[in-house]
Structure 1
Amino acid sequence: MKKTDYKKELIIKGTQKRKGSNNRNDVRKIQSWLSLYAINHPNAGTATGIDGDYGPATERAVKNYQKAIDIIPSGMVTQALFDQLCRPMRDAFEKPLQSSDLRSLVLEVAENHVKSHPRELIIKGQSNSGPWVRSYMDGHDGSIWFWCMGFVQMIIDQAASAQGKKFTSLMPQTVSCDIVGNAGLEKRILHRNSQINNNPSLVKPGDIFLIKKSRLDWTHTGIVIDIDGTTIETIEGNTNHEGSRNGIAAMKRTRNFKKSNIDIFSIDPLI
């Protein structure tokens, strides 16, 4: 795999505790994962500020997490405890894959990710932040880092790597929808909306959809996982229930490509 920044999000340099020799970056990681846990377990009492300070609030949040997973609450975070906190990310990125053909691999990887509930956080007033965003965006996060293409390329990278292939033979490594869209045009593997309206069979599971703003400007992307008539089911990052290109999470959506200005980037050359 080429996109391996996620590995940095799975480790801390040493045990972190209140009044200890704390590493502020590690403490922010811990606080981030506690807050992510709280989103899916709102009664756990693990949501806390993400400021790098292992104070009484963080200690209490850690103890609440330990209680939630039936561990004696010490208020300390060892690597073993941190492994449990960030297990959703390890499952998404490292769960052994069972599929054999590339399109099935893409779908399997996409499903693994969405089941692990990737979400962004707001840190220091910046949206598009946190461990999931950094993992998809080659280490970057913050409000300007819309992460939908980083999410898509991570999925294609994982799937291609399972077959010993490099996704960069299909497209440049980038977080820009425009760069990928233009690469598709140059390689003649980008099917325009008018083409797929006339011939929906051009759209296949595992392909990449791109929402077009103008002829050479695309604003959002995701993975096609199913096609039914003029609708596509998708898995996409940095979206929400409205289908925003700057939402908060990865999720499944259903889109009508006749009513939306959607182009399709084919992964056929990688097969």
Structure 2
Amino acid sequence: MARAHRAYRERPLLGCAPAHLARLLRWVQLMSPIRPLPPVISCARGAKGAHVKRIQEWLTLRGYGVALDGDFGPATERALAMFCAAGAAASWNGVADEIVVNALERPMLDAVADVRPVPDDLRSAVCDVAAQHLREHPREVGGQNRGPWVRLYMDGREGKDWKWCAGFVWYVLAQAAKQLGVPMPLKPSYSCSTFVERNRGGRFLPGESPQLVRRGDVFFVRRAGDDAGYQHTGIVVDVQPDHVVTIEGNTNDEGSREGYEVCRRVRAYGRLDFLSIAG
């Protein structure tokens, strides 16, 4: 499958008039930069390193829990043999090659693939992409805000300080925009409050005006009390007079802002504000 391109880095472009250069730079910056999935490194018993830990993470996510120590020992080898014997990959020959690793990572490969049928518009594309990710049950593994799904949504970052709800929103928007070949609808940030501030002009929809909210828009949960700012975000996939249905990352069945998975939620308008993806 096609791999997405790396994030854009601004650099001088020669031979362009200033006005044309400005328009070109704005277009490139608005297009959807997505980090490609990491390459597969074949390995076998005795190997050590991050590529082994990645295999162990996926074994655990697929129901074959092993220690996430980056050491390809007998337990990892046995878990891989069991995974292959279950019919998920070719017969185990002692090597975790591209065929085996791709089989392990199939949920992520399916999540980041172009949605089918091709959506007619960006709002439909955003909702379809979010639903496609939800079906593959993205979740943490190995600790708070850790694992391959978190690294996907956070451009390689992970750890306690990297709450990934905004990263999930950003990735879904980027994937949808990339498939349709259109600019990113919003300026991204991994901070919910900064995300709102960067896009407030012409895009901000206060929760008191729910009649303006549409499928594909982004919701934000206001912090409780007098402290300004936002603490959680996600994608709106259905709008009703008294509630919205959402798909959101770094949450759980209780709707926590510091959860561990991608979930579908039903939220009253209460403490919600929104950003429209169509200015």
Candidates 204, 209, 223, aligned match of 2:219: 209
TM-score, length of structure 1 as denominator length:
0.85
Q: What letter is aligned with 1:174?
A: S
Candidates 56, 59, 63, aligned match of 1:31: 56
Change (3 A) 1:6 1:249: farther
Checking the alignment, whether the CA contact within 8 Å between 1:181 and 1:216 is kept in structure 2 is no
Candidates 259, 269, 278, aligned match of 1:247: 259
Change (3 A) 1:146 1:140: same
Change (3 A) 1:143 1:177: same
Checking the alignment, whether the CA contact within 8 Å between 1:225 and 1:234 is kept in structure 2 is yes
Aligned-residue sequence identity (percent) comes to: 36
1:49 aligns with 2:74: no
Q: Where does 1:84-233 land on structure 2 (aligned, <5 Å)?
A: 84-97=103-116, 98-122=118-142, 126-167=143-184, 170-185=185-200, 187-194=201-208, 196=209, 200-213=210-223, 216-233=228-245
Aligned to 2:27: none
Change (3 A) 1:12 1:53: same
Q: What letter is aligned with 2:70?
A: G
1:133 Cα deviation (Å)?
Answer: 0.4
Alpha-carbon separation, structure 2, partners of 1:160 and 1:51: 37
* Other structure's SS at 2:168 match: helix
1:238 aligns with 2:250: yes
* Other structure's SS at 2:172 match: helix
Alpha-carbon separation, structure 1, partners of 2:214 and 2:86: 42
1:251 Cα deviation (Å)?
Answer: 1.1
Can you list the C-alpha shifts for 1:160-192, whole angstroms capped at 9, x where unaligned? 12222221xx4333211111111232x131111
Aligned to 1:43: none
Checking the alignment, whether the CA contact within 8 Å between 2:214 and 2:236 is kept in structure 1 is yes
Q: CA RMSD in A?
A: 1.6
1:250 Cα deviation (Å)?
Answer: 0.3
Checking the alignment, whether the CA contact within 8 Å between 1:223 and 1:235 is kept in structure 2 is yes
Aligned length: 245
Alpha-carbon separation, structure 1, partners of 2:165 and 2:33: 15
* Other structure's SS at 1:233 match: strand
1:215 Cα deviation (Å)?
Answer: 6.6
1:65 aligns with 2:83: yes
Change (3 A) 1:79 1:224: same
1:265 aligns with 2:267: no
Q: Identify the structure with the greater helix proportion.
A: 1
1:95 Cα deviation (Å)?
Answer: 3.3
Alpha-carbon separation, structure 2, partners of 1:176 and 1:234: 19
